[in-house]
Amino acid sequence: MDRYRYFIFNQRNMVALGLFQIAFSTVCVVSGFIDGVFRAESLLSKTRAPIWAGMVMGVPGVLALFSSQRKNPVLVNAVIAASIISCVTILIIIVYSSLTLSYGEEEELSPVPVHAVHTKYVLNKVVKGANIVMLIASVCSTFVVLVIAYLGCRSLPHCSCYDSVTGMVSEE
């Protein structure tokens, strides 16, 4: 029965959660590119934190897809560890997007042509929109990562809900 130990890892749920996590990661990376291209240069915008953190955010999603196909305890432990690391990177994205919602974009209007003022206004709104999208995607991603980690912890044999005789979850 030992080889059937990880069947409590629900395959369909984990595939859906992995795809959601990859989608949220992609949204953060694309919004990070938009933020980096259209934002006025500042020390904070030069870090390109949302791009790198968004890439790290996708790792638990990819590992969740693999772990749903192969019931491997090492892979499940890697999913749990990657989920914890992803929570830290999500926190970085939340702090970055919160700080940069207005940081570095508010400038006094100088005597420049009207089309330049309108262009600055539109780009300012694009950057703010990208930061809001990053903020929403990272908050949603936090819930997905925590559910992935929870399901991973439930499928380990050291979990209190694990029945070592049958290899299944004991309903309590």
In a domain, 56, yes or no: yes
In a domain, 149, yes or no: yes
In a domain, 172, yes or no: no
State the distance between the two ends of the chain, measured CA to CA, in whole angstroms. 21
In a domain, 9, yes or no: yes
The model's pLDDT over 79-136, given as tens digits with 9 standing for 90+, comes to 989 999 999 999 999 988 888 876 545 554 455 555 555 566 666 777 788 889 999 9
Give the mean model confidence (pLDDT) for residues 136-143. Answer: 94
The model's pLDDT over 39-75, given as tens digits with 9 standing for 90+, comes to 766 666 677 788 888 899 999 999 988 888 877 778 8
* Domains contained in the chain, number: 1
